[in-house]
């Protein structure tokens, strides 16, 4: 959702800001804009649609400008038009904003009563005018920012340039992410590190309530009360090239292919030489012995990773595990035990999902222990947690989550094993057997990736169907949900995932020869039951695309189209292999339909507003 990038230094800022916007493209947006400050004059260009729409207008901005801010907007208040795109201007300033101002109506009325004219329908413009009024009255920009943010309700990260000060960019953060990148005689900032990681790996993460002034050679940070704060610098682990496409047609395809490596790195990090690393798995930061129940909270694909985790975590730990959508959890007054007896575990690739973060804060206020599995280090969710696991997936840029899902399931699996070990519920023999199979998972994953060409071929006969069903049982019920989500989000085909055993309770009415049903049925404990369901589908002329074991002739015979996966004994690893098949299926169907795979319409990679 909305992306922010900014630069101040001794180079021309135009290319840096434009490049930063392109790197933030993955977050999802529908308009973009840039403002630069040069010779005490602010110049702006903004357009609806793609960032590239700005290109013809860049030459109208002063090429020598060394101070610039850029923004990608994901519309919340007001349609995606040029007028509503950021930066917004007022007297002598330009402003960009990520977040939502909840009390903007009252503030807008107040400003209109004073004769202020609004040019857009956005909530952001009220901030620009409030600041404009302060600056007009001679207030220093830093003081103006402090005063204005005290009047704002909601979430924001803001960046402000003003012709009153050509040595600084001013920032403020509350609820939405903002991070500063420290360079040599130049500094950067962004909504996330991908905006500037190719220039510097030294970063300062802003906390809620903090403001900053960013100059060429110095960065100052202060809190709500105006006290200056020390800068806490973090050295980023992501290498500059890790966020590039590396020759793949799409980030999503690259990220699907990265999964074997992600699995190897995860295993190396959490079980080097067969010993579970309790420290890296965050177990040393929580009091497991106190825990009587676990709530997993997450959204979208991360929620499905949590649902898979429930299947193995509950029996491993002998504790009830509830999995809940964060957007529901945070508003329903959940029954949570204080004094650390409930452990609330957030799963989030970005670590910035607004509902997941709010759920954690709520649980923290109620005295729960809070834990997270995140891919982005120092993200808000990671920082909010008592204990955490950092995934080893590397940057995930494609909006459709692929390698993050695999990694989340595996992190939860390692955590569950180590927690069981700590509780004395994991025998050495069992541990050894599981770790042994985990070691071979990347190889099996490589084999699963070999099905790519075959699946691409199948997509040719599938891409015109308007509806799909995905079915499975046990962990593969969750993979069915995930497969349906992948197909929906990147191909815009309507798809539903169902537990195969639920078909008779309603969805079977949808089945006829025009309905493709992706049936995931490896040879596991659920196999016979699922096969009966598939027989029922065939009896109603349903069009079955089977995903199952390479050597399984029964499922193959029942299926009109078949995607073989290698055979593993552990049902959760087997489910991970089936995930590759549904990821490719969604990808190649989307390719045939010509959609924007990495940035599907209306979607944002990181949902930082609720
Ligand atoms: O960053 P998070 O893992 O918290 O994001 C959660 C969801 O927004 C995300 O998984 C979303 O559902 C993906 N686009 C699915 O592919």
Could you give the angle at the alpha carbon of 136 between the alpha carbons of 132 and 139, nearest 5°? 95
pLDDT given at position 228: 95
Helix (H) or strand (E) holding 222: strand 219-222
pLDDT given at position 239: 65
pLDDT at 610 over 80: no
- Give the mean pLDDT of 534-553: 96
Comparison of pLDDT for 299 and 78, the residue scoring more: 299
What digits encode the pLDDT tens for the residues 363-408?
A: 999 999 999 999 988 888 998 999 999 999 998 999 999 999 999 9
- Determine what percent of the chain is predicted with pLDDT higher than 90: 88
Give the confidence band of 240 by pLDDT, cuts at 50, 70, 90: low
Atom 14 of ligand 1, residue of closest alpha carbon? 400
The pLDDT mean for the chain works out to 95
Q: Within 13 Å and on the Cβ side, how many CA atoms surround 135?
A: 21
Point out the domain boundary residue: 181, 208, 242.
242
Out of 74, 251, 301, give the residue to mutate to test ligand 1, the one with the largest number of ligand atoms within 8 Å of its CB. 301
Q: Using an 8 Å Cβ cutoff, are 30 and 82 in contact?
A: no
Residue 494 lies in a domain: yes
Q: Give the catalytic positions in this structure.
A: 2, 605
pLDDT given at position 131: 97
Atom 12 of ligand 1, residue of closest alpha carbon? 300
Q: How far apart are CA 588 and CA 582, in angstroms?
A: 10
DSSP-assigned letters across all residues of 512-578: STT-EEEEE--SSTTHHHHHHHHHHHHHTT-EEEEEEETT-HHHHHH-SEEEEE---SSHHHHHHHH
Give residue 141 CA to ligand 1 midpoint distance, Å. 37
- Give the mean pLDDT of 489-499: 98
Query: CATH number, domain at 104?
Result: 3.60.20.10
Q: Are residues 463 and 403 in the same domain?
A: no
Q: Are residues 472 and 509 in the same domain?
A: yes
- Determine what percent of the chain is predicted with pLDDT higher than 70: 99
Q: Are residues 226 and 261 in the same domain?
A: no
Give residue 453 CA to ligand 1 midpoint distance, Å. 27
Relative to the CA of 350, which ligand 1 atom is closest?
Answer: 1
What digits encode the pLDDT tens for the residues 472-483?
A: 999 999 999 999
Q: Using an 8 Å Cβ cutoff, are 27 and 603 in contact?
A: no
Q: Are residues 86 and 210 in the same domain?
A: yes
Give residue 399 CA to ligand 1 midpoint distance, Å. 8
Quote the tokens at residue 575.
């489910």
Residue 139 lies in a domain: yes
Q: How far apart are CA 463 and CA 594, in angstroms?
A: 10
What digits encode the pLDDT tens for the residues 192-225?
A: 888 998 899 899 999 999 999 999 999 999 998 8
pLDDT given at position 238: 66
Q: Are residues 533 and 402 in the same domain?
A: no
Residue 608 lies in a domain: no
Q: Are residues 299 and 267 in the same domain?
A: yes
Helix, strand, coil fractions of the chain, as percent rounded to 5: 40, 25, 35
Cβ < 6 A, ligand 1 pocket: 299-302, 348-350, 353, 356, 399-401, 485, 489, 606-607
Considering its fold, how many domains does the chain have in total? 3
Residue 469 lies in a domain: yes
Give residue 4 CA to ligand 1 midpoint distance, Å. 20
pLDDT at 558 over 80: yes
Give the confidence band of 243 by pLDDT, cuts at 50, 70, 90: low
**For residue 483, what are the domain limits?**
452-593
Relative to the CA of 356, which ligand 1 atom is closest?
Answer: 4
Give residue 606 CA to ligand 1 midpoint distance, Å. 7
What digits encode the pLDDT tens for the residues 115-163?
A: 999 999 999 999 999 999 999 989 999 999 999 999 999 989 999 999 9
What digits encode the pLDDT tens for the residues 82-113?
A: 999 999 999 899 999 999 999 999 999 999 99
Residue 601 lies in a domain: no
Q: Are residues 237 and 135 in the same domain?
A: yes
> CA nearest 373: which of 343, 345, 392, 396?
345
> CA nearest 213: which of 447, 6, 475?
6
Relative to the CA of 381, which ligand 1 atom is closest?
Answer: 4
pLDDT given at position 124: 94
Helix (H) or strand (E) holding 52: none
Give the confidence band of 7 by pLDDT, cuts at 50, 70, 90: very high
pLDDT at 78 over 90: no
pLDDT given at position 604: 84
- Of 165-169, 194-198, 599-603, highest mean pLDDT: 165-169
Relative to the CA of 605, which ligand 1 atom is closest?
Answer: 14
> CA nearest 297: which of 379, 362, 366?
362
pLDDT at 241 over 80: no
pLDDT at 292 over 70: yes
pLDDT given at position 454: 98
């Amino acid at each position: 959702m909305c992306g922010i990038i900014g630069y101040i230094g001794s180079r021309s800022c135009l290319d840096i800001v434009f490049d930063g916007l392109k790197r933030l493209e993955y977050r999802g947006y529908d308009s973009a804009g840039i403002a630069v400050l040069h010779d005490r004059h602010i110049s702006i260009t903004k357009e609806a649609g793609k960032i590239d729409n700005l290109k013809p207008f860049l030459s109208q901005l002063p090429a020598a400008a060394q101070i610039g801010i850029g923004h990608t907007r994901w519309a919340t208040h007001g349609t995606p038009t040029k007028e509503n795109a950021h930066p917004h201007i007022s007297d002598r300033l330009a402003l960009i904003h990520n977040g939502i101002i909840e009390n903007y109506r009252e503030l807008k009325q107040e400003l209109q009563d004073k004769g202020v004219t609004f040019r857009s329908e956005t909530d952001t413009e009220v901030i620009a005018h409030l600041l404009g009024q302060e600056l007009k009255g001679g207030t220093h920009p830093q003081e103006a920012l402090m005063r204005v943010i005290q009047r704002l309700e909601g979430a924001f990260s803001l960046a402000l340039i003003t012709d009153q000060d050509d040595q600084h960019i001013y920032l403020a953060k509350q609820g939405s992410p903002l991070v500063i990148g420290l360079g040599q005689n130049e500094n950067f900032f962004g909504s996330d590190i991908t905006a500037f990681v190719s220039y510097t790996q030294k970063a300062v993460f802003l906390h809620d309530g903090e403001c900053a002034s960013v100059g060429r050679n110095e960065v100052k940070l202060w809190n709500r009360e105006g006290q200056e704060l020390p800068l806490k610098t973090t050295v980023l682990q992501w290498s500059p090239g890790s966020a590039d496409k590396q020759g793949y047609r799409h980030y999503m395809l690259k990220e699907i292919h990265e999964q074997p490596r992600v699995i190897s790195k995860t295993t190396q990090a959490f079980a080097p030489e067969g010993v579970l690393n309790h420290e890296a798995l965050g177990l040393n930061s929580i009091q497991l012995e106190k825990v009587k129940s676990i709530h997993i909270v997450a959204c979208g694909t991360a929620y499905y990773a949590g649902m898979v985790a429930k299947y193995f975590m509950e029996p491993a730990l002998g504790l009830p595990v509830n999995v809940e959508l964060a957007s529901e959890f945070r508003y329903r007054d959940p029954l949570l035990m204080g004094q650390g007896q409930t452990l609330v575990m957030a799963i989030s690739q970005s670590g910035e999902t607004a509902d997941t973060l709010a759920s954690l804060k709520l649980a923290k206020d109620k005295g729960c222990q809070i834990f997270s599995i995140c891919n982005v280090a120092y993200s808000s969710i990671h920082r909010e947690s008592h204990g955490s696991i950092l995934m080893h997936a590397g940057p995930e840029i494609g909006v459709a989550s692929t390698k993050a899902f695999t990694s989340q399931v595996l992190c939860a699996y390692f955590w569950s094993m180590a927690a069981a070990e700590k509780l004395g519920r994991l025998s050495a023999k069992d541990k050894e057997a599981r770790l042994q199979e985990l070691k071979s998972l990347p190889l099996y994953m490589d084999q699963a990736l070999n099905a790519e060409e075959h699946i691409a071929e199948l997509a040719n006969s599938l891409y015109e169907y308007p509806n799909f069903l995905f079915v499975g049982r046990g962990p593969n019920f969750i993979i069915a949900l995930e497969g349906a989500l992948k197909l929906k989000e990147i191909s815009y085909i309507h798809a539903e995932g169902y537990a195969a055993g639920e078909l008779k309770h309603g969805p079977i009415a949808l089945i006829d020869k025009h309905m493709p049903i992706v049936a995931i049925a490896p040879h596991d404990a659920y196999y016979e039951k699922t096969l009966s369901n598939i027989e029922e589908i065939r009896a109603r002329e349903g069009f079955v695309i089977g995903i199952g074991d390479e050597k399984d002739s029964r499922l193959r015979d029942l299926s009109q189209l078949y995607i073989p996966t290698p055979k593993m004994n552990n049902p959760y690893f087997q489910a991970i292999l089936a995930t590759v098949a549904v990821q490719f299926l969604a990808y190649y169907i989307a390719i045939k339909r010509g959609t924007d795979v990495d940035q599907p319409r209306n979607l944002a990679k990181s949902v930082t507003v609720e």
